[in-house]
């Protein structure tokens, strides 16, 4: 507040009184605040539990995180499983359990064989005995927790027809009804042809392309994908705006979910770029930094 002295005519002074007139100070406009982006738990809350396990799903749920990202492969006998790498060496004890099966590629093992592997002790002794979940098991856990899924098709060229298999499992698990498709499911891949195939098979499903296409190429992607989901290291505000100026196959503007952002300062920068979502191993850190 500040004091302005009355200097008007005698008549006006009489009407206003002899005292000073108090007027509100002019305040500068506050800077526009960016909307908090959505937060996606990368491979579950993988900063706190072994990635892509049911424990990581539950860790995200315990933090109050709705969206979970995962990675899907196919076994030798056609079962869809949730695991990031194309081989089993980094996150399981496959080399000890099956010493003669190098290079331990997921596609060379049956689902029953994968079920014997420990997918948790590499992360911490308290997770010893965690298993590689099937996609069905993963979906059931998300459903129990009322969570949502950003599903990544890994190495689609390695698994011809995996898009159709994924859609079949989603349907059998109740994930292709109107509510799930509209509000709780996105399918993404680094493979543009794989994303196109999902869009062809089920045009109602929201899809995402993983990568940073050139701005000039974005309109061609907008014909079959609803999201452009790039690495954080490859984007800035101009790129995000260029994506968001376009509309995808469902007539809505393209969205941008960036990965993998684990530090609070980087999360704030990503938010200020205008991204719609942030994919992170530490979803609580990102949420707290950007809200």
Give the active site residues.
Answer: 42, 84
Q: Closest by alpha carbon to 132, among 142, 121, 144, 124?
A: 121
66: Cα within 13 Å, side-chain hemisphere = 9
H/E segment holding residue 271: helix 264-273
Task: Write out the E strands in 135-246.
Answer: 148-153, 185-189, 206-210, 227-229
d(CA 104, CA 75): 12
Separation of alpha carbons 18 and 277, rounded Å: 59
Q: Which string of DSSP letters, residue by residue, matches 126-143? A: GGTT--PPBHHHHHHHHH
Which secondary-structure segment (H or E) carries 85? none
Which of 145-184 are b and which e, b meaning 16 or more Cβ less than 10 Å from the residue's Cβ? bebbbbbbbbbbeebeebbebbbebbeebebbeeebbeeb
Tokens of 48: 């706190």
Within the chain, strands assigned E span 2-4, 21-23, 38-41, 67-74, 80-82, 148-153, 185-189, 206-210, 227-229, 255-258, 277-280
Cα separation, 264 vs 267, whole angstroms: 5
Distance CA 67, CA 41 (A): 6
CA distance 39 to 58: 16
């Amino acid at each position: 507040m500040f004091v302005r002295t009355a200097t008007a005519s005698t008549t006006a002074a009489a009407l206003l009184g002899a005292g000073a007139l108090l007027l509100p100070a002019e305040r500068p406009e506050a800077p526009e605040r960016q909307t908090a982006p959505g937060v996606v738990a990368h491979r579950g809350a993988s900063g706190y539990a072994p990635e892509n396990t049911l424990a990581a799903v539950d860790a995200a749920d315990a933090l109050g995180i709705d969206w979970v990202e995962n990675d899907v492969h196919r076994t030798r006998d056609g079962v869809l499983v949730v695991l990031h790498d194309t081989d089993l060496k980094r996150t399981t004890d496959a080399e000890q359990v099956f010493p003669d099966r190098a290079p331990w590629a997921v596609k060379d093992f049956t689902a029953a064989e994968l079920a014997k592997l420990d997918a948790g002790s590499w992360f911490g002794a308290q997770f010893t005995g965690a298993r590689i979940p099937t996609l069905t098991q993963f979906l059931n856990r998300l459903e129990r927790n009322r969570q949502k899924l950003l599903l990544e098709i890994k190495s689609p060229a390695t698994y011809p027809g995996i898009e159709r298999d994924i859609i079949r499992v989603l349907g059998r698990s109740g994930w292709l009804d109107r509510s799930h498709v509209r509000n709780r499911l996105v399918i993404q891949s680094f493979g543009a042809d794989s994303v196109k195939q999902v869009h062809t098979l089920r045009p109602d499903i929201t899809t995402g392309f993983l990568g940073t296409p050139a701005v000039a190429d974005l309109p061609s992607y907008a014909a079959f994908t609803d999201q452009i989901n790039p690495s954080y290291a490859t984007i800035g505000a101009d790129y995000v705006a260029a994506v968001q100026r376009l509309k995808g196959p469902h007539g809505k503007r393209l969205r941008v979910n960036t990965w993998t952002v684990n530090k609070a300062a980087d999360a704030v920068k990503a938010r200020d770029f205008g991204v719609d979502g942030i994919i992170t191993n530490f979803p609580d850190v990102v949420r707290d930094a950007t809200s």
